[in-house]
């Protein structure tokens, strides 16, 4: 299986440390607000990776964190903790805010049929592990203390800028973030932040350096290594994490262990909404729940994600989602043929259902080539709907649908049959057409349409699909 590795900037053969196990860590949500479509592009693609690994005979062990403390509003380790900010906004405690948005995230995770990670880990449940990791770094001479916390000295890690291709001299000169004059270098980052003396935080703990809370970056390293060991097989996240968060994870993890932190880094590209980046000020952070309230199925959004490659800049729009919904409808029209079997083949044309699973697996193994998959599935659907199904092909067809669902999560096997009443109505329409009673046939068609069922006529009889 081949993946693009951000570490080397090349497509490489995946080589797990202990196959068939593959240890994967995904940067999860900061639960101070709702997740939006940009987040869900990233998590659907992470799920696709998990499914692709399974399709290639591997056994992923997937860890996803919940950041419920320590993620400050600034890259400079300044400003409020996002959880504290959310608490002030909503008149709740930071704990209440965290649990509410975590619950909403997990609900939408299931709604999108994203594989549940083996470990969903809260930062607040792993404070001891984070303190222990900071202590290791302190004992090895990588830290220093200033007024607001314990910091990592990036000058002690010579490879600090390598991952993101950072020019540290330029960074010092330009100071991309507001510079804390007590920091030794602009790139240094907080490992443990001290609680303010003037007020009490909702979330704070006693640490060896004083009462405070962990930095955002140390959380991921501590949790990833607790569950997956010192070296991960794959670390995933958005490309916005490359220059700061993931660079800092590498620096602190490898300084602590002396080992490579992750062998492969897989990053998803930005998502634009109507041509603009997602931001709260623009009000374009659309939720999955909002889309379902507008009548869109979660699987239409999932299919929309799969239409673009994870390394390309993607675009979300309602028009694009409508187009994806139409493509999903076409795939469902293929799926419901299993309820409408012919007694004999329509012609001599045969279709190799087993080839579909093989081809999908090959596309996934080629750096998760989902655009090619979508084009291929459209062609498969066209061919099958042209020849329809006869009863002897049903087991092979159902195996094909199950393979598509396993690899892409589109839930085509779960498309329901129509009711017995609706089947009788379809028979009534056919009888009316045979008797050339067009008015009665139109009445039956309209009744079916009101029930959400479309009918198309073929040489082998009427075929229905969900509208």
d(CA 150, CA 170) in angstroms, rounded, equals 25
pLDDT digits (tens, 9 = 90+) for 143-192: 999 999 999 999 999 999 999 998 776 656 545 455 688 999 989 999 99
Beta strand 271-273 pairing with 262-268: unpaired
**Domains 15-268 and 288-414 belong to one CATH topology:** no
* CATH node for 288-414: 1.10.730.10
pLDDT digits (tens, 9 = 90+) for 44-65: 999 999 999 999 999 999 999 9
d(CA 289, CA 36) in angstroms, rounded, equals 9
Q: What pLDDT is stored for residue 151 in this prediction?
A: 97
3-state secondary structure of 79: coil
Q: What pLDDT is stored for residue 174 in this prediction?
A: 46
Give the pLDDT band (50/70/90) at residue 281.
low
Give the pLDDT band (50/70/90) at residue 73.
confident
d(CA 4, CA 9) in angstroms, rounded, equals 7
| pLDDT, average across residues 364-373 | 98
* CATH node for 15-268: 3.40.50.620
| pLDDT, average across residues 428-441 | 94
The residue among 449 and 75 whose pLDDT is bigger is 449
Average pLDDT, the chain: 94
CA dihedral 317, 323, 327, 329 (to 10 degrees): 100
Q: Are 261 and 250 in contact (CB under 8 A)?
A: yes
pLDDT digits (tens, 9 = 90+) for 378-392: 999 999 998 889 999
- Among 13-17, 22-26, 283-287, name the one with the lowest average pLDDT: 283-287
d(CA 147, CA 45) in angstroms, rounded, equals 41
Polymer length of the chain: 467
The domain spans of the chain are 15-268, 288-414, 420-466
Q: What pLDDT is stored for residue 277 in this prediction?
A: 82
Comparing C-alpha atoms, which of 345, 332, 355 is closest to residue 418? Answer: 332
pTM of the model as a whole: 0.95
């Amino acid at each position: 299986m081949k993946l693009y590795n951000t570490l080397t900037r090349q497509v490489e053969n995946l080589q797990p440390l202990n196959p068939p196990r593959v240890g994967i860590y995904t940067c999860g949500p900061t639960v101070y607000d709702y997740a939006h479509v940009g987040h869900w592009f990233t998590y659907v693609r992470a799920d696709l990776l998990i499914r692709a690994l399974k399709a290639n005979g591997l056994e992923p062990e997937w860890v996803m964190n919940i950041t419920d403390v320590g993620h400050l509003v600034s890259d400079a380790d300044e400003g409020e903790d996002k959880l504290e900010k959310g608490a002030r906004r909503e008149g709740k405690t930071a704990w209440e805010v965290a649990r509410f948005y975590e619950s909403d995230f997990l609900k939408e995770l299931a709604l999108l049929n994203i594989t549940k990670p083996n470990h969903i880990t809260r930062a607040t449940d792993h404070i001891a592990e984070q303190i222990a990791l900071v202590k290791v770094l302190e004992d090895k001479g990588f830290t220093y203390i200033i007024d607001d916390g314990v910091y990592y000295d990036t000058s002690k890690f010579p490879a600090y800028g390598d991952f993101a291709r950072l020019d540290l001299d330029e960074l010092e000169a330009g100071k991309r973030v507001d510079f804390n004059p007590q920091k030794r270098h602009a790139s240094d980052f907080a490992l443990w932040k001290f609680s303010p003396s003037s007020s009490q935080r909702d979330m704070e703990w006693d640490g060896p350096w004083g009462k405070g809370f962990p930095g955002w970056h140390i959380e991921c390293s501590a949790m990833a290594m607790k569950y997956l060991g010192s070296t991960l097989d794959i670390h995933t996240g958005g490309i916005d994490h490359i220059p700061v968060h993931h660079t800092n994870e590498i620096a602190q993890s490898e300084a602590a262990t002396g080992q490579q932190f992750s062998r492969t880094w897989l990053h998803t590209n930005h998502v634009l909404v109507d041509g603009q980046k997602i931001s709260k000020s623009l009000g374009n952070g659309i939720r999955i729940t909002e889309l379902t309230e507008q009548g869109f199925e979660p699987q239409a959004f999932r299919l929309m994600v799969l239409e673009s490659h994870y390394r390309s800049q993607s675009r979300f729009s309602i028009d694009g989602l409508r187009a994806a919904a139409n493509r999903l409808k076409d795939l469902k029209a293929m799926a419901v043929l299993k309820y409408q079997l012919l007694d004999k083949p329509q012609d001599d044309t045969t279709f190799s259902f087993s080839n579909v699973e093989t081809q999908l697996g090959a596309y996934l193994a080629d750096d998760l080539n989902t655009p090619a998959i979508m084009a291929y599935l459209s062609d498969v659907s066209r061919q099958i709907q042209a020849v329809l199904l006869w009863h002897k092909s049903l087991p092979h067809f159902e195996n094909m649908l199950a393979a598509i669902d396993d690899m892409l999560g589109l839930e085509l096997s779960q498309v329901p049959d129509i009711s017995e009443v609706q089947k009788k109505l379809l028979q009534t329409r056919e009888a009316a057409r045979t008797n050339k009673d067009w008015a009665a046939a139109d009445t039956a068609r309209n009744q079916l349409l009101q029930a959400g069922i479309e009918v198309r006529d073929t040489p082998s009889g009427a075929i229905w699909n969900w509208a």
